[in-house]
């Protein structure tokens, strides 16, 4: 006779399958389920309602159904690098009630069902600002598979202008790494290659993460030797504000806020 499943540690696929029926709607696109600490009204606004409300309509309208699951901890499974997994029910990550070892600790995971993406976020020991960043980064990565040819062309043209001008830096580590690979291996950066497309897509994801996060929250861009100069970053954000306008009542730059 088989016993009850151990809910202290389930694969993210098993967990998502088990609790999908308990999702609470947030909008036409988003719903949520909280298996971590009980959410107060303030928590609900901070973790879910406000981040979703700040999304540009032109982003929300192209996303599939998105289910957000807030869990205590996530443990990174064997055989995957640090980051977000997207391997359907075969994802090697686990939902845990006890904190896993630091070298196995993960903060976000992802499971794909038919016409639905389930996003899992670990809440315990995570600052709200870090959660917001990871939330928008996962959505930006989804948009990297969904951006239109027009947006892709406009963003790629902007990147080529930067490359031709020898502009140093990027928005985040992954786009920085791919930019360095492109510059080492390809002398003519105007040439359409897989190296350029990979870099452009990751740069778009990292920049869109910053853009979406900036609509929702007051954030400071860290300065450093690898950071894209502010005037070029602003050009990117202006482009994104044109193709993905913020919802009514929101703005990216302080001087653009209504009233």
| pLDDT tens digits along 116-133 | 999 999 999 889 999 999
**Average pLDDT score over the chain:** 88
* 81, pLDDT greater than 90: no
243 with 160, same domain: the answer is yes
Q: Are residues 63 and 161 in the same domain?
A: no
pLDDT band at 254 (very low <50, low <70, confident <90, very high): low
Q: Are residue 95 and residue 179 in the same domain, yes or no?
A: no
Quote the tokens at residue 191. 């040439």
221, part of any domain: yes
Let me know if residue 138 belongs to a domain. no
The verdict on residue 139 lying in a domain is: no
Pair (157, 112) in one structural domain: no
Identify the domain boundary among 126, 161, 186.
126
Question: Does any domain span residue 141?
Answer: no
Per-residue pLDDT tens for 60-71?
999 999 999 999
Examine the domain organization and report whether 48 and 96 are in the same domain.
Answer: yes
User: Is residue 78 a contact partner of residue 54, using CB atoms and an 8 Å limit?
Assistant: no
Q: How many domains does the chain have?
A: 2
What is the mean pLDDT of the segment spanning 94-112? 91
Confidence of residue 91 (pLDDT cuts 50, 70, 90): low
Q: What is the mean pLDDT of residues 36-55?
A: 91
Kindly state the average pLDDT of the residues 33-43: 86
* Residue 103 covered by a domain: yes
Query: Are 122 and 13 found together in one domain?
Result: yes
Name the β-bridge partners of 109.
120
Using only the alpha carbons of the chain, give its radius of gyration: 19
181 and 233 fall within a common domain: yes
Same domain, residue pair 182 and 216: yes
Q: What percent of the chain has pLDDT over 90?
A: 71
Query: Are residues 71 and 160 both part of a single domain?
Result: no
Structural domain contains residue 2: no
Range of the domain at 189: 149-256
Tell me the mean pLDDT in the region 17-35: 93
Same domain for 169 and 246, yes or no, is: yes
pTM attached to this predicted model: 0.89
The reported pLDDT for the residue numbered 190 is 79
* Pair (112, 190) in one structural domain: no
DSSP 61-130: TTS-EEEEEEESEEEPPTT--SS--B-GGG---EEESSPPPGGGEESEEEEEETTEEEEEEE-TT--HHH
Does 153 lie in the same domain as 122? no
Pairing label, strands 73-75, 116-122? unpaired
Question: What is the band of 83 on the pLDDT scale with cuts at 50, 70, 90?
Answer: very low
Q: Which residues pair with 166 in a beta bridge?
A: none
The predicted pLDDT at position 236 comes to 97
């Amino acid at each position: 006779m088989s016993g009850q499943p151990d809910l202290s540690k389930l694969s993210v696929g098993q967990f998502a399958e088990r609790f999908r029926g308990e999702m609470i709607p947030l909008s036409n696109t988003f719903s949520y389920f909280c298996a971590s600490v009980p959410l107060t009204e303030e928590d609900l606004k901070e973790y879910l309602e406000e981040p979703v409300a700040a999304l540009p309509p032109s982003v929300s309208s192209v996303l599939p159904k998105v289910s957000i699951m807030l869990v205590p901890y996530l443990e990174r499974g064997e055989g995957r690098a640090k980051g977000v997994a997207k391997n359907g029910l075969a994802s090697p990550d686990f939902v845990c009630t006890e904190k896993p070892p630091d070298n196995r600790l993960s903060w976000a995971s992802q499971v794909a069902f038919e016409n639905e993406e389930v996003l899992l976020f670990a809440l315990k020991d995570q600052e709200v600002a870090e959660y917001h960043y990871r939330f928008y980064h996962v959505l930006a990565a989804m948009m990297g598979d969904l951006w239109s040819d027009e947006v892709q062309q406009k963003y790629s043209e902007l990147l080529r202008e930067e490359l031709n001008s020898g502009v140093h830096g990027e928005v985040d580590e992954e786009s920085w790494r791919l930019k360095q690979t492109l510059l080492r291996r390809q002398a003519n950066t105007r040439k359409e290659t897989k190296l350029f497309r990979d870099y452009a897509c990751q740069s778009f994801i990292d920049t869109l993460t910053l853009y979406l996060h900036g609509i929702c929250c007051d954030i400071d861009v860290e300065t450093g030797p690898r950071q894209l100069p502010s005037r070029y970053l602003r050009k990117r954000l202006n482009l994104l504000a044109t193709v993905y306008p913020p919802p009514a009542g929101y703005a990216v730059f302080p001087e653009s806020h209504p009233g």
